[in-house]
Amino acid sequence: MQLSAVPMMHAANTSTPYSSSARSADSEKKTEEAELLIKLGRLEEASAVVDQLIKGEQGKNPDTLETALYLYQSLGRYEAAIETAENLYRLEPENHALLKTQGEILFQLKQFSDAEEKLKRYHEKVQDDYRSYHLLGDVYAALGRDTESRGSYERALSILQKTKS
């Protein structure tokens, strides 16, 4: 059996939900348990732990929801990830990156029109993210809208080239 190589968020970045004092010790343990189960390939068990993580009051905690969002994506539970991202965005409407995250997940689900809507909403708030324009170009390409796809790719390239200099 091959072990999963899903990286632990807190190993790479100390400003993640794992370091938040707002999270309970029980929440920390459930998060760790879910990550270990994912690494061991025990995905159904991990999925149940993540579902448990966001029940009750912890399901209203932005840090817990952010962690659940990451774990749902790691598990390939994209519908649950979308629902979690939407709940988190309702709690943190200033966190515009959640719109881009929803667009990325919807693209993976091949829900291209919905992905387009989320990415356009993101671009109303953030205009200098070349990755999101690249993704929007991919969305337009999947929808067969070549002119718009090319325009988004050109916008992404322009932003990228400006940030390089």
Domains detected in the chain: 1-95 (no CATH), 110-165 (1.25.40)
The token duo for 104 is 């990325």
User: Could you tell me the CA-to-CA distances from 138 to 65, 99, 135, 152 in Å, in that order?
Assistant: 28, 16, 5, 9
Q: Per residue of the chain (165 residues), what is the pLDDT tens digit?
A: 444 444 444 333 333 443 444 557 888 899 999 999 999 999 999 999 999 998 877 788 999 999 999 999 999 999 999 999 999 999 999 999 999 999 999 999 999 999 999 999 999 999 999 999 999 999 999 999 999 999 999 999 999 999 876
The token duo for 90 is 């309702």
Chain-centre distance for alpha carbon 101: 4
User: Residue 157 and residue 2: Cα distance in Å, rounded?
Assistant: 38
Q: What is residue 19's DSSP assignment?
A: G
Determine the number of helices (DSSP H) and then strands (DSSP E) in the chain: 9, 0
Give the pLDDT confidence score for residue 26 in this predicted structure. Answer: 81
Comparing CA positions, the residue from 90, 156, 164 lying closest to residue 127 is 156
CB within 8 A of 70, min separation 6: which ones?
9
Q: Give strand ranges (E) for 60-144.
A: none
Would you say 90 and 98 are in contact if contact means Cβ atoms under 8 Å apart?
Answer: no
